[in-house]
Amino acid sequence: MSYKLLSFASEENKIRAGLLIGDIVHDVEHLTGKAHYATVLGILEDWEHAEAILTAVSATAPAAAAEGVPLASVTLHAPILYPGQIFAAGANYQDHIDEMVRQGVVEAGPNAKQAGERPWHFIKASRSGVVGPGTVLPLPAHSAKVDWEIELAVVIGKKAKNVPIESAMEYVAGYTIVNDLSARDFVFRKGTPPDSPFYHDWIGSKNFDGACPMGPWITPASDIPDPMNLSMKLWVDEVIRQDSSTRHMIFNIAEQIAELSARVTLNPGDVIMTGTPDGVGMGCNIFLKPGQQLRLWIEHIGELQHGFTA
């Protein structure tokens, strides 16, 4: 039976690793008898063994449903608390590139892959940025143009260094959903010439408290038939803003893993955000406001909801 891997608050208000089977959440440590499976990060650090163990127990756990807790009564947290590294792909969807061409942000022409370039990424803050499903936080006071970006997030399941493209997918434990919240009024440093290497402000535009909503859980890679063909949608106050598919990625997941692992070692629990499709707020000059609620959905994973205080 299939399952989802998540983090939830126990009755003692401790954050525990949970296995969602049907609509019942089971404590993974209790289910497996393995103390180091008390957290999702602990499970991912042993993923080469844990995957088979979780698959086996998920087949018998429904018979012990009384030992679990209904999902509706559980408080979920971000599935990984906290990723050691979060890498985010920039301008990695062709429909998003087309959107930026229409806005005059970039010139029409071959995309990075067609031009023979390599994938490129920036870094999102982990501990201060990652928040879980149901989170309601204030918008950052310093920005008036906070934007949404739904992204498929890849969760690494074993140490990866200099990984060839052909075997890169073997290092994926599973997938979750992230919202790459972006402060569009801090994309560029004012007063800095456009040809300066310091013109773009990746820290100011991509990192602030709560800038990386994540969840609601991790779907194992074995349950995703084709991660490069997943429907994805984002709603703001029930108005659909993004409606696309991962098939529009320019550099696929394997290419991104290979590129990153050639530069740094990827470790279990690290996350790669693979880019966003068209439909971002910048394209229509609409930005998030206090009190708004967002829903993000990706096929075979589920739905992540979060919002902002009024």
Whether residues 174 and 237 share a domain: the answer is: yes
Contacts of 67 (CB under 8 A, 6+ apart): 26, 30
Count of domains forming the chain = 2
In this structure, are 72 and 197 located in the same domain?
no
What pLDDT score was predicted for residue 197? Answer: 83
pLDDT means over runs of 10, the chain (310 residues): 93 93 95 96 98 94 76 97 97 87 77 93 98 98 97 98 98 98 92 87 94 98 97 98 98 98 98 97 94 98 97
User: Do 135 and 110 share a structural domain?
Assistant: yes
Query: And the tokens for 88?
Result: 């985010």
Omega into 133 within 30° of 0, i.e. cis?
no
Are 149 and 126 in a shared domain?
yes
Determine the Cα–Cα distance for residues 296 and 294; give it in Å rounded to an integer. 7
Could you please report the per-residue DSSP string of the chain?
Answer: ---EEEEEE-TTS-EEEEEEETTEEEEHHHHH--GGGSSHHHHHTTHHHHHHHHHHHHHHGGGGGGGSEEGGGPPEE-SSS--S-EEEESS-BHHHHHHHHHHTSS-SS--TTTTTPPP-EEE--STTTEE-TT-EEPPPTT-S-EE--EEEEEEE-S-BSS--GGGGGGGEEEEEEEE--EEGGGSB-TTS-TTSTTSB-HHHHH-STT-EEEEEEEEEGGG-S-TTS-EEEEEETTEEEEEEEGGGBSS-HHHHHHHHHTTS-B-TT-EEE----S--GGGTT----TT-EEEEEETTTEEEEEEE--
Q: Are residues 302 and 197 in the same domain?
A: yes
Cis check: omega of the bond before 199, within 30 degrees of 0: no
pTM of the model: 0.96
How long a stretch of residues is the chain? 310
The pLDDT value recorded for residue 34 is 97
* Domain end (from 19, 52, 77): 77
Other C-beta atoms closer than 10 Å to the C-beta of 63 total 8
73 plus 92 within the same structural domain: no
Residue 244, domain extent: 86-308
**pLDDT value of residue 273:** 98
Q: What pLDDT is stored for residue 108 in this prediction?
A: 81
Structure-token match 């499970």, residue found: 43
Note whether 56 and 121 are same-domain residues. Answer: no
Same domain? For 99 and 59 the reply is no
Per-residue confidence (pLDDT) for residue 95, from 0 to 100: 86
Provide the CATH number for the domain around residue 176: 3.90.850.10
Checking DSSP bridges between strand 136-137 and strand 302-308, what pairing results, if any?
Answer: parallel
* Same-domain pairing of 72 and 95: no
Q: Which of 60, 77, 94 is the last residue of a domain?
A: 77
**HSE-up of residue 194 (Cα within 13 Å, Cβ side):** 1
Give Dmax over CA atoms of the chain in angstroms.
65
Same-domain pairing of 61 and 36 = yes
- 114-146 confidence digits (pLDDT tens): 999 999 999 999 999 999 999 999 999 999 999
The verdict on 38 and 58 lying in the same domain is yes
For residues 128 and 246, membership in a common domain is answered with yes
**Where a domain ends, among 77, 96, 130?**
77
Report CA torsion sign: 225, 172, 222, 40: negative
